[in-house]
Amino acid sequence: MLIANHVGKEHKDIGWAVGDAIYEYFVKQGKTVEDVEKNPSEFAKLVVKKLQEREVVGPTVARSTQKAIKEVIPATIKLINKMWPKDHNIKHLRAMEEAFSPDTKDPVRTLKAAGIDVTKELEELRNTIAEVTGKKPKTAKKRGMKKIEPRKPKYPETKKVISEEIPPEVLSIAKALEFSDFSEKAMEKAEKELLKMIDGLLDDEANAVEVFYAVKLLRLVQRGDIEGIKRFGD
């Protein structure tokens, strides 16, 4: 994780601290991802505050940790918004499905052919993380997202293909919401879990598929789109 790499150690309370910040910012304060995009410093400051409360970071590294978080947020949101913009449509969705299909060798090129060019945003995120963590980006013969091997056998091109591509960790959250009848408490818990999951996936571009579906479900939860959640993965 970005925070663990920055402070130079793993800490069991990092996830809890980030979860605390997420809960306070999105649930208690009623803010959105768009608010984070407009003012990343505000959210970064809150995360550091929660990290300090749990004694994950001390005052000597608080400022640099806040700076690291702030620097990664804009690039991350740029990539997410480019992959899944607010004005997405059926054509856009089909392009995303094709890009993340096990048969697709070059997801970035597939997206670009559909008018979704994430090359710049992906490179910016990789370089930002490398600069913040002090680690050089991994070199590859082809630029773009790393190909993720399919977890299960291939299926015909039906809705089942989409379901098979959704990470089980994300799908389980959607199913848990259905079982809880979409109670307010369950929706709040799901939002916290998804945001924490996304935070843990952002350091590696190989997690692009997981990030995409986690963000997609997160936005459905934040909008209270129960029908959309029910259709998620069907």
Rounded to whole angstroms, the Cα distance separating 214 from 208 reads 10
pLDDT at residue 154 above 70?
no
The three-class DSSP label of residue 202 is: coil
The beta-carbon contacts of 173-177 under 8 Å, at least 24 apart in sequence, are 173/217, 174/217, 174/229, 174/232, 174/233, 177/221, 177/229
Q: Are 18 and 47 in contact (CB under 8 A)?
A: yes
Rounded to whole angstroms, the Cα distance separating 60 from 215 reads 33
- Tell me the CA distances in angstroms from 11 to 20, 47, 50, 133, one per residue in order: 15, 15, 13, 17
pLDDT at residue 62 above 80?
yes
Q: Are 91 and 114 in contact (CB under 8 A)?
A: yes
Question: For the whole model, what pTM was predicted?
Answer: 0.45
Percent of the chain with pLDDT over 70: 70
Rounded to whole angstroms, the Cα distance separating 225 from 167 reads 20
How confident is the model over 197-207, as pLDDT tens digits?
Answer: 888 887 776 77
- What residue segments make up the domains of the chain, in order of their start? 2-231
How confident is the model over 163-216, as pLDDT tens digits?
Answer: 446 777 888 888 888 777 788 888 888 888 888 888 888 777 677 778 888 888
Confidence of residue 5 (pLDDT cuts 50, 70, 90): low
Q: Are 16 and 78 in contact (CB under 8 A)?
A: no
